[in-house]
Amino acid sequence: MQYKKIQGLEKIKQWGLPYPPYEIVESSQVTPPKIKEIISKIGIPLVEGDRIGIVIRTSGAGRTGGRSDLHLTDVKEIINWALRLRDKNEPHVKLIIQHVVDARCSGVMLKGSDKISVEVVHGDAPSLLEGKTPNIERWKYRGQWEKENEIREKILNEKELDSLLDYSNRVPDYSYLEWSLSKKGNLYFYEFMKWWKQKENNFKRKVTRGFKKQIIKGLGASPGVSSGTVKVALYSDEINKVGTGDVLVIKYADRHVMHIIYKVSALICDVGGRTSHASIIAREYGVPCVISENATKRLKDGMKVVVDGSEGSIFVL
């Protein structure tokens, strides 16, 4: 788990997927001269429309180790970020120093055994990964591409979708890939991991009896069915009120959710997608998750609900 991002980058290289240049450095070796040496080796890209600046990421799984801002171009700022991440993490953690795509759009591709799902947003990836935007274009592929929703401005065309499909043939089933498409039309991949395949009966389980009514229909982001008492947390410090077996309702998942996801029975978010942090964390822990706009306003503390993460439905008990 300590080097999951590095292992993912190695797989991307192994499969011949295009990726932004990067270097890896041990935290214990992070000094201003060492960072200047790495910068000299990979350069600070200033190719408008393709790659601009540097990002520094930690090597482990999850998002808790932190990363720098995107598109760093000032040497002093890059060094300061490297020192900050070195001091914040354990000595065994490694830092990935990598070029950043000047992205027209960014997304995630999930490859299952019989379906490919793609979620994409305009610009850089964080708004998608952090679940902070509702403007997500969703596609699925089962023999042909099918758009799952409509947003104001179309993002991907058929040629770009087919390019993703071609690269998907190089990776195994149950793969998670983060990517960006540059303004010049160059596709880059920069994160891979295996995503958890839940048992088939979790997908098939039905919820049809014993409920007063379905009160919310949203996007099923992590399959399974669970029930519990609603706890709405609008701010990070309110997460402390969540008890074991509660249904956590939040605007979007930030790093604080990582610390309590193991004890909630279900997760409901206002914004996000199947590839946002909330959904990925929920699937890793086997927690049903539904994304539904204004859930934090429609659900109240103390309500007893059933959450069907397969169908994206929420019922009142």
Q: Where are the domains of the chain?
A: 1-195, 200-316
The answer as to CATH 2.40.128 being correct for domain 1-195 is no
CB 94 within 8 A of CB 81: no
Residue found under tokens 């999951």: 4
Cα separation of 187 and 105, whole Å?
Answer: 10
Cα separation of 24 and 173, whole Å?
Answer: 28
Q: The pTM is what?
A: 0.79
- How high is the pLDDT of residue 204? 38
The CA-CA-CA angle for residues 86, 92, 96, to 5°, reads 55
Question: Looking only at Cα atoms, what is the longest distance across the chain?
Answer: 66
Strands 247-250 and 266-269, bridge-based pairing: parallel
Q: Which CATH class is domain 200-316?
A: alpha beta
Per-residue pLDDT of the chain (317 residues; tens, 9 = 90+): 567 899 999 999 999 999 999 999 999 999 999 999 999 999 999 999 999 999 999 997 555 468 999 999 999 999 999 999 999 988 889 999 999 999 999 999 999 889 999 999 999 999 888 878 888 999 999 999 999 888 888 999 999 999 999 999 999 999 999 999 999 999 999 999 887 555 434 433 444 445 556 678 899 999 899 999 999 998 877 888 899 999 999 998 766 777 788 899 999 999 888 888 788 888 878 899 999 989 999 999 999 999 999 889 999 87
